[in-house]
Amino acid sequence: MAEPKIRFKEFEGLSCWENKRIEEICEILTGFPFEGQTIVNIGRNLLMRGINITEGVIRHSEEIDRYFDGDTSSLTKYRLKINDLVIGMDGSKVGKNSALVTKKEENALLVQRVVRLRTKNATLSYLILVSVGSDKFFSYVDGMKTSSAIPHISLTDIKNFTINIPQQREEQNALANYFRLLDNLIQSSEKKIASLRQVKAASLVSMFPQAGETKPRVRFKGFQENWKTVPFDIVFRYLKNNTLSRADLNETLGSARNIHYGDILIKFGTLLDIRKDDLPYITNHFLANQLTNNCKLQKGDIIFADAAEDSTVGKCTEIAFIGEEKVVAGLHTIPCRTLFEFSEGYLGFYLNSPSYHNQLLSLMQGTKISSISKSALLNTSISFPSNIAEQRQIASFFRSLDTQIFLETQRLDKLKQIKSACLDKMFV
């Protein structure tokens, strides 16, 4: 068997790798078909179900975990051991949900539609986990899985998948240790991002007054006075928007750019910076000039998305930098301009916080598509500290959090790219 494209230097020129089917190197078992009435929410015998298994991690919660309430004397072979590899055999992400059993799942009972792979040592188990987490395995599953409402793969499909492994135990260890390091870095980065997002979510509640409050629960040192709360139209006046669809826009060329509501909901953050964010161009040059003459946006303007498929309707973005570009507000947006000065970024973070967004929930209309109207926004109120310095510190705090999240997300993406490239080049 040929060598991989990249190999640790100390193993170059040594014995080649072996190509084996999974069934040749693993003890394989599918789960037991437990009857519904024997499955309970609380018990001693944890069940390993497909819903517990995600990409590289076995998850647990009160909502997910289930237990077997019955006699287990005949179920010994279904007990899991540490470093067993479990793979979900059905669902929309079939083939991608696989993970190693840890101390927490030791002795859990294997449920049907989950397959367990058991090897002679932890190193081999990890190499198999790495292999089934590769594009090669995903492509294999895509070609084998059923096209029914719930896609699934068979035990035979898993048994017949071929894995290339080095013959020498030392090289197996080196390879496993390298990918363990990458996985640990990826997991560390994911945890850091989750922690930063939790801090931001909590801060968006604690640093803005909630209903009935005159000041936030958490403030920066030196600020004590009550905040102001005024009707929406005391702070904003409405601007004009257009109704251009995606078909009227392009990504490469034009004299004016357009803010589409879908980009506010999905792509843009709280603050819009045209140097970093990609805004589509208006294809029709004449129409672009006409629109910018009537409703050109400027720094500090707020643009709400007035429609969404869920309660995210009302999400907004604040223009932080626009330069000399001509930008207009597009389909399903409500653009607004302040009537007096605010510190850059304050309104963007406040208007996307629960303190303000919760006011919109009772004002939304529609079933399949939720919407919010200009008249509905007039029934909301805006809270803010009179001291611009306090506004500035609040905005600076949240901008710093967003920057940390952005940089850590970039690092995570880079680590995943490195792992993907290594999987391609370090396995035959």
* Cβ atoms of residues 38 and 115 within 8 Å: no
Mean pLDDT score across all residues of the chain: 94
Q: Which two three-digit tokens encode residue 381? A: 């109120």
Q: What is the mean pLDDT of residues 206-225?
A: 94
For the stretch 126-152, pLDDT in tens is 999 999 988 889 899 988 888 777 889
Q: Which two three-digit tokens encode residue 278? A: 């990609």
- Distance separating alpha carbons of residues 172 and 126, to the nearest angstrom: 10
Question: What one-character DSSP code corresponds to residue 111?
Answer: B
179, containing H or E segment: helix 169-206
β 67-68/45-48 pair status = antiparallel
Quick one: pLDDT at residue 135? 87
Q: What is the mean pLDDT of residues 30-43?
A: 94
Q: How confident is the model at residue 15 (pLDDT cuts 50, 70, 90)?
A: confident
Question: What one-character DSSP code corresponds to residue 227?
Answer: P
Burial class (CB in 10 A: 0-12, 13-18, 19+), 216: buried
- Distance separating alpha carbons of residues 16 and 169, to the nearest angstrom: 13
* Cβ atoms of residues 102 and 56 within 8 Å: no
- The number of C-alpha atoms within 13 Å of 230 and in the hemisphere containing its C-beta is 12
Quick one: pLDDT at residue 428? 61
- Concatenated DSSP letters of 198-219: HHHHHHHHHTS--TT-SS-SS-
For the stretch 369-409, pLDDT in tens is 999 999 999 999 999 999 999 999 999 999 999 999 999 99
Quick one: pLDDT at residue 259? 97
Quick one: pLDDT at residue 148? 73
Quick one: pLDDT at residue 367? 83
Quick one: pLDDT at residue 87? 96
Report the candidate in 133, 225, 146, 217 with the shortest Cα–Cα distance to residue 179.
Answer: 133
- Concatenated DSSP letters of 314-370: T-EEEEEE-TT--EEE-TTEEEEEESS---TTHHHHHHTSHHHHHHHHTT-B-SSSE
Q: What is the mean pLDDT of residues 334-341?
A: 97
Q: Greater confidence, 6 or 363?
A: 363
Quick one: pLDDT at residue 63? 94
Quick one: pLDDT at residue 1? 56
